[in-house]
Amino acid sequence: MQNPKFCFLALSFFLFIQCSKDNSPEPESEAPKETPKETPKDPTPPPEPEPIVYFTFTIDQSINTSEQDNWILIHDENGKLLDYKSYESGETLEFEDLENNLTENIHISLFHHRIITTQDQNNQPQQTDQHTGTTYTSIPIKNHWTHSKYPTKLEQKTELTANGEFSLHLSNFPNPDNVLNGFFSTMRHGNLSTVVAPSFGSFSIFNPNTNTLELNGLASYNENPNYLMTVLNQENYEMRYSFFKKTENSANLNLDYNEFEVLDNIYNLPVLPDNQSYLFQHVGFETETSFKSDTGYFILGPQGSPDLNGNGIPVGTLDQFEFYRTWLSYSTNEYSYHLNQDGPNMSIESYPEAPSVSSNGNINSFDFSTTADYLRREDSWIGSDNTTNWKVVCDANTYPKLSEFPEELITLFPSLVPLNDLQHVSTRIFLQGDTYDENLDRLFNPDFDHIITYGFVNEYFIISI
């Protein structure tokens, strides 16, 4: 029989063990391991800004740069000098800068220096520095200019080969004192020309007893072209003309002025305003090709200031001419007026009034106003010693600010007058013709149509300041 005391102790020990198990803390679960954070890498630095080509300037072989120093200067809209370089024929220059350093537009200046030889007061040769420059305003960046002598005529011009000279004898000719037209003020005996060139001759002789005019030294040609002679007689304000050919293998040609035809298709321009001098030249062409390639037949070309007896300049047309080219200009003390027209015959109802102009300040603080409604203008500036001349070309809305010349140019050309010391002397105001942008294209754009255009009119005043 088992000992009851032993059984009690055994049971008590068993219960103690069980309670110890129930009250013992549960083992803690392991904390999840944290993934180690990667050390952040340095961000990729932004690329450094690269300069852009903001202007390209090509000088083709037609521009002769060998007889002078040539420079191009570029300013931004605020007058800051961006760059400058010398240039020679055949080069292409590229100008680079960071785009955020640039303004939307730039000012381009072309500067030239040459040494000219003149006579001093003792008629001894002396050398003088001459500086000239032109500034073109508000040129958009990323432009490419090509400086070239662009042809304005077609290549299909009439070719004449001179083979000697001949003399023209005109009977019944009016006294040259009463003839209004001529190529020279001292040789008023009408206009004589071929379609290629005027015929001046070497000298003329008028015999008032026989009313005979002899023109000597006139060029003759293998092709035996037509000559046109026109005479405007002041006595009756009549214009006569004759087409003729030179007699082959003859050194003399005889014509009777009474057999010249009266030019019926004629009308007078308005009477010119009071002026000191005027110029009118009127030429005709038979075909469009000739109009775009030849000099033309001179219908009328009075030089200087012949007395028109209160009449307007006569403008004549001939049925065989389909195209005309006309130049008119006159000058006063305060201004000159210029009108050029290509294609149709000139027709004017009245002459425009000269615009009033006021200006003050130097080239960098220039204040200009005018009554004219104009396309573009050119302001001319000059130094006190007349050795520095500068021109600013602009539209009606902009004018440049220009910092002074760079030190290198001042060192190279010590007689160069500072820009702010130049004096404003005149302004050319364009009323008709190219706009400012069209004028830039005509000068520097190889894709522009530079050939003479039918109907083109160029009208401007030059106002003296």
Residue range 398-416, pLDDT digits in tens = 888 898 899 999 999 999 9
Tokens representing residue 400 in the block: 């440049």
Q: Are residues 133 and 220 in the same domain?
A: no
Is 392 a residue whose pLDDT tops 80? yes
The answer to whether residue 435 is domain-embedded is no
Which pLDDT band holds residue 14 (cuts at 50, 70, 90)? very low
Which pLDDT band holds residue 8 (cuts at 50, 70, 90)? very low
Mean pLDDT within 238-255:
90
Residue range 213-224, pLDDT digits in tens = 999 999 999 999
Q: Are residues 68 and 112 in the same domain?
A: yes
**Where among 243, 262, 281 does a domain terminate?**
262
Is 10 a residue whose pLDDT tops 70? no
How confident is the model at residue 286, as a pLDDT?
Answer: 95
Which pLDDT band holds residue 5 (cuts at 50, 70, 90)? very low
**Where among 235, 262, 289 does a domain terminate?**
262
- The number of domains in the chain is 2
The answer to whether residue 18 is domain-embedded is no
How many percent of the chain have pLDDT more than 90?
66
Which pLDDT band holds residue 144 (cuts at 50, 70, 90)? very high
Least confident of 183-192, 198-207, 379-388, 450-459: 183-192
Cα 420 to Cα 405: distance, rounded to the nearest angstrom: 10
Is 443 a residue whose pLDDT tops 60? yes
Name every residue whose Cβ is closer than 8 Å to that of residue 121 and which is 6 or more positions away in sequence: none
Q: Are residues 59 and 133 in the same domain?
A: yes
Distances (CA, A) of 386 to 131, 335, 404, 425: 9, 21, 19, 11
Query: In one letter, which amino acid is 461?
Result: F
Cα 350 to Cα 347: distance, rounded to the nearest angstrom: 9
Greater model confidence, 202 or 387: 387
Q: Is 204 in contact with 187 (CB distance < 8 Å)?
A: yes
The answer to whether residue 409 is domain-embedded is no
How confident is the model at residue 214, as a pLDDT?
Answer: 95
Query: What's the domain range around 62?
Result: 52-117+126-147
Which pLDDT band holds residue 236 (cuts at 50, 70, 90)? confident
Q: Are residues 139 and 167 in the same domain?
A: no
The answer to whether residue 364 is domain-embedded is no
**Where among 205, 233, 262 does a domain terminate?**
262
Q: Are residues 139 and 183 in the same domain?
A: no
Q: Are residues 197 and 135 in the same domain?
A: no
Is 138 a residue whose pLDDT tops 90? yes
Average of per-residue pLDDT values in the chain: 89
Provide the CATH number for the domain around residue 86: 2.60.40
Mean pLDDT within 232-254:
89
Residue 231: helix, strand or coil by DSSP?
Answer: strand
Cα 406 to Cα 71: distance, rounded to the nearest angstrom: 11
The answer to whether residue 289 is domain-embedded is no
Residue range 414-426, pLDDT digits in tens = 999 999 999 999 9
Q: Which residues, in sequence order, are bridge partners of residue 395?
A: none
Least confident of 16-30, 69-83, 187-201, 221-235: 16-30
How confident is the model at residue 321, as a pLDDT?
Answer: 95
How confident is the model at residue 17, as a pLDDT?
Answer: 47
Which pLDDT band holds residue 235 (cuts at 50, 70, 90)? confident
* Range with the largest mean pLDDT of 11-20, 158-167, 192-201, 440-449: 440-449
How confident is the model at residue 361, as a pLDDT?
Answer: 84
Q: Is 315 in contact with 284 (CB distance < 8 Å)?
A: no
Is 355 a residue whose pLDDT tops 70? yes
The answer to whether residue 166 is domain-embedded is yes
Q: Are residues 142 and 198 in the same domain?
A: no
Which pLDDT band holds residue 211 (cuts at 50, 70, 90)? very high
Residue range 27-54, pLDDT digits in tens = 555 555 566 666 666 678 788 889 999 9
Mean pLDDT within 172-200:
88
How confident is the model at residue 327, as a pLDDT?
Answer: 95
The answer to whether residue 363 is domain-embedded is no
Residue range 249-301, pLDDT digits in tens = 788 999 999 999 998 788 889 999 998 889 999 999 999 999 999 999 999 98
How confident is the model at residue 289, as a pLDDT?
Answer: 95
Distances (CA, A) of 327 to 34, 116, 180, 341, 459: 95, 31, 17, 7, 10
Residue range 75-127, pLDDT digits in tens = 999 999 999 999 999 999 999 999 999 999 999 999 999 999 888 888 888 89
Is 248 a residue whose pLDDT tops 80? no
Q: Is 230 in contact with 239 (CB distance < 8 Å)?
A: yes
